[in-house]
Amino acid sequence: MIILKLKTGRTTETIMNITVSTDITPLTTKENNPITSVTKPIVLQIFRRTNEVVYAIWNTTAAALDGNLNTEYTNHGICSGYSPLQDECGIKTGFYITFKSKPFILVQFRMATFQNSPPRDPNTITIEGSNNKESDLVFGTSWTKIYDGDTSLAKNPGRRVYGGTQTMPNNSLSFASYRIIITSKRGKHNCVSYSEFEMAGRFPD
């Protein structure tokens, strides 16, 4: 329980028998007019691909950033369409893209499922950013990891629908290029599939 008592410019806050007192000093101008500070809310922008090239990692063309839930990105990775159903198929695949906007801070993302085969759904991913020139992006040392975790698809949300929105914890780094790598999927299959990867962020102040 928190008890607040106001006493002549002084706040007394009592928390579990511990009393903390804080002086309240109003900020005034020379004319003794209070100064009011207003904090503007942060507005996030969803970044959509225009005519940028999406570079697939491994063996197929990416369709994960076209805003269309009826298209898909399928990748077999070290496997093929004729491989046995395995956990490893499609793992360590993904894509990277360089946006033509100025570098931005990724704040949130969400992924959408493929039209069928729930075992293909990505379960965990990494997200990395880079400001290196495009010719350097094929090298792993060009990238800085900013996320390693859940996609919010662990609980099957249905087909061709978005999972929950994931928020980047304390990310303040802005990048021109982003790379997404699948690190696990829901079950055993010969590939990983998803229909969309949506990014929301803001430009640096």
CATH of the domain at 80: 2.60.120.260
Q: Is residue 28 part of a domain?
A: no
Q: Is residue 189 part of a domain?
A: yes
Q: Is residue 81 part of a domain?
A: yes
| Domain that residue 64 falls in | 45-202
d(CA 158, CA 147): 25
Q: Is residue 25 part of a domain?
A: no
Identify the DSSP state of 152: S
Local confidence pLDDT in tens for the 205 residues of the chain: 333 333 344 443 333 333 333 344 444 445 555 555 566 677 888 877 777 877 776 555 668 888 899 999 999 999 998 999 999 999 999 999 998 889 999 999 999 999 999 999 999 999 999 999 988 998 888 999 999 999 999 999 999 999 999 999 889 999 999 999 999 999 999 999 999 999 999 999 8
Q: Is residue 73 part of a domain?
A: yes
Q: Is residue 2 part of a domain?
A: no
Q: Give me the number of domains the chain comprises.
A: 1
Q: Is residue 181 part of a domain?
A: yes
Q: Can you say whether residue 140 is alpha, beta or left, with left for phi > 0 and alpha for psi between -120 and 50 degrees?
A: alpha
Specify the residue for token string 């055993």.
Answer: 188
Helix (H, G, I), strand (E, B) or coil at 31: coil
Q: Which residues have a Cβ under 8 Å from the Cβ of 94 and sit 6 or more positions away?
A: 56, 57, 75, 125, 179, 180, 181, 182
CB-based contact 189:120 (threshold 8 Å): yes
d(CA 66, CA 112): 12
Q: Is residue 78 part of a domain?
A: yes
pLDDT value of position 58: 59
